[in-house]
Amino acid sequence: MDNVVTIHLASLSHTYDGFSKSATYTTTPAGVAVVLTYNGSGTAPTDGGSYTVMATSADPLFEGSSSATMTIAPAAQAITFSPPASVPFDGNPLALTATAGSGLPVSFGLVSGPATLLGNVLTPTGSGPLVVRASQAGNGNHQPAADVDTTITVTSDYGNSDWKTTHFTPAELLVPAVSGPLADPDGDGFSNLIEFSMNLDPKASDRHRGLCVYQEVEISGQTYPAITIRRRIGYPGMTSIVEASLNLSSWNHPVPVETDDGTDNGDGTETIQFRSPLPLSSQNRQWLRLRVTAP
């Protein structure tokens, strides 16, 4: 008759780390060979979950078995999410990126603020703070990550615009005569505010680019003075309009008419035409000017 061996199982609690996990055993009497299986397989598992461990004597002189449950708990994970603190309200979307310690994909949600979010593409629809959430729900090997909420401020005014920090050095930003809204560092006759309103380079002359083009438009046999301009799209705090005057003293009399919906230039600006409501045959002298304001 075979001798009976008692098998004691241990090392039954683990945490997922990508490596296989095994139970350990001791025997009474000591030194008896044992075969372990996990849910019926002789291969030690790697993934998180619960496994039935069966230990059976492999010594022909002994008989005996034991069973227990071994668990591999999902590992903790954290999200790294560092979008820019601010973006300009210039009509351009922002592609959000984040990583999870597990390597699993991160999803995004819009908690609050004027924007739309499709997948990872955030498109501001107005200026102000946006709160965006990064999430990772976990799986059998990883616990859900703690959500990470981040505020992105959408700016729309010249004073806080990314356009300034893109075109001027930190030292130049401290000198209003160089980077201020009324400065003209390239001497082309267009102030920084005008250049900003048209999304131009303030250090490259635009004197010959025809940014404000005078035209004469014919409608029903009458000829009207008009100006075509470039202006930023979607800046609620900025106005770029053409004003008219009959005496160079009182402006916006008559009020020019926007003649179309604008042509998107693909760089955050549109081209649009303003026309005087008075024809040239009205015998009144007319002046047109571009007026740009921003907070």
Query: Is 110 in contact with 124 (CB distance < 8 Å)?
Result: no
Torsional class of 136: left (φ above 0), alpha (ψ -120 to 50), beta (otherwise): beta
Q: Which pLDDT belongs to residue 57? A: 96
For 129-148, write each residue's pLDDT tens digit. 999 999 999 999 999 999 99
Cα–Cα distance between 14 and 16 in angstroms, integer?
7
Q: Which pLDDT belongs to residue 268? A: 81
Please state which of the ranges 1-5, 6-10, 142-146 shows the lowest mean pLDDT. 1-5
Of the candidates 55, 111, 113, 49, the residue with the CA atom closest to the CA atom of residue 87 = 113
Cis amide bond preceding 256, omega within 30: no
For 26-80, write each residue's pLDDT tens digit. 999 999 999 999 999 999 999 999 999 999 999 999 999 999 999 999 999 999 9
| Confidence tier at 295 by pLDDT (50, 70, 90) | low
Q: Domains of the chain, with CATH numbers? A: 3-73 (2.60.40), 79-155 (2.60.40.10), 213-293 (2.60.40)
CA 282 from centroid of its chain's CA atoms: 53
Cα–Cα distance between 56 and 27 in angstroms, integer?
11
Q: What is the mean pLDDT of the chain?
A: 90
Amino acid at 181: P
Tokens of 154: 């959408």
Cα–Cα distance between 122 and 154 in angstroms, integer?
11
Residue 1 confidence (pLDDT) above 60: no
Q: Which pLDDT belongs to residue 293? A: 82
Q: To the nearest whole percent, how much of the chain has pLDDT over 90?
A: 55
Please state which of the ranges 17-31, 125-139, 237-251 shows the lowest mean pLDDT. 237-251
How many other C-beta atoms can be found within 10 angstroms of the C-beta atom of residue 269? 22
Residue 247 confidence (pLDDT) above 80: yes
Residue 158 confidence (pLDDT) above 80: no
Q: Which pLDDT belongs to residue 290? A: 87
Cα–Cα distance between 95 and 91 in angstroms, integer?
13
Residue 281 confidence (pLDDT) above 90: no
Q: Which pLDDT belongs to residue 137? A: 97
Q: Which pLDDT belongs to residue 183? A: 92
More confident site: 282 or 273: 273
Residue 23 confidence (pLDDT) above 70: yes
Please state which of the ranges 11-25, 32-46, 120-134, 159-173 shows the lowest mean pLDDT. 159-173
| Confidence tier at 269 by pLDDT (50, 70, 90) | confident
Which residues, in sequence order, are CB contacts of 129 under 8 Å at separation 6+? 112, 113, 151, 152, 153, 154
Whether pTM exceeds 0.75 = no
Query: Is 275 in contact with 224 (CB distance < 8 Å)?
Result: yes
Cα–Cα distance between 154 and 134 in angstroms, integer?
18
For 170-220, write each residue's pLDDT tens digit. 999 889 899 988 899 999 888 999 998 888 899 998 877 767 888 888 999
Q: Which pLDDT belongs to residue 233? A: 79
